Amino acid sequence: MIAILDRQHFGKPGRRRDLGAGYDLDGDGLVGDHEREASLTPYYIEAARKHVEAAGHGVIVEDRGWYSKRHIRANIFAAEARGPVAYVACHINAGGGDYAAIIHDARSQNGKRLADLVAESLNDLHLAGVSRVIVRGATPDNDWSRGLNTIKGIWSGPANICGICFEPLFIDCHAHRQWLNPVGLDSIGAALGSGLIEWALGDINA
């Protein structure tokens, strides 16, 4: 397996200051760059990378270009790959919720399997303050359409690639703040990595 871990929001052309959602986590009355989504996701991306590579799989960390261009690159890579490829749009949610969400393209059965396994692994962490881990299939017309935009180009790729949007926490949920630090995000990244590995094993054994 190759896992493509995409640090989204970061690296969009002409939008270098876009780091996604932000919140005053340290209570100083300001929202600094270190308190924004794309400054926090690298902690769990790095943990997931280490976990996946330790199991003998490959990892690509993506962080540049419009999402559509990232999807095209991922699909080209998958067409040249010999095994399964998992694309993960890496995010942290906002809007005051208290759950974790794993979103897949509703058309993709393999994407649903990946989402289910990642959700199961995240559930095993029993993160205090996370009420539940939900898996949702996104369409252009349902409540998860924004999540679909982060992965929608993957559907047009070869059969060996699928994608999920990973939203393990809410940056503006008070109960989630205890996990929005290097140690907490490391554990979340390890869970993401475990789910990816389980998905790859299922693909190999299919």
CB 101 within 8 Å of CB 89: no
| Residue-wise pLDDT tens digits, 2-27 | 999 999 999 999 777 789 999 999 99
pLDDT, tens digit (0-9, with 9 covering 90-100), for 39-69: 999 999 999 999 999 999 999 999 999 999 9
- Asked if pLDDT for residue 206 goes beyond 50, the answer is no
Residue 124 has pLDDT above 50, yes or no: yes
pLDDT over 70 (residue 154): yes
Q: Kindly tell me if the per-residue pLDDT of 204 is higher than 80.
A: no
Assess whether pLDDT exceeds 60 at residue 89.
yes
| 205 pLDDT more than 70 | no
Q: Which pLDDT belongs to residue 202?
A: 82
CA separation for the pair 42, 150 (Å, rounded) = 17
- Model pLDDT, residue 203: 60
Q: Supply the pTM of this predicted model.
A: 0.96
Residue 169's nearest CA partner among 121, 133, 143 is: 133
The percentage of residues in the chain with a pLDDT greater than 90, rounded to a whole number, is 92
| pLDDT at residue 115 is higher than 60 | yes
Task: For the chain, give the mean pLDDT.
Answer: 95
Query: At the fourth CATH level, which superfamily is domain 2-205?
Result: Zn-dependent exopeptidases (3.40.630.40)
pLDDT score recorded for residue 33? 92
Nearest residue to 138 (alpha-carbon basis) of 164, 118, 110: 164
Q: How far is CA 144 from CA 77, 117, 151, in A?
A: 27, 19, 12
pLDDT tens digits for 134-150? 999 999 999 999 999 99
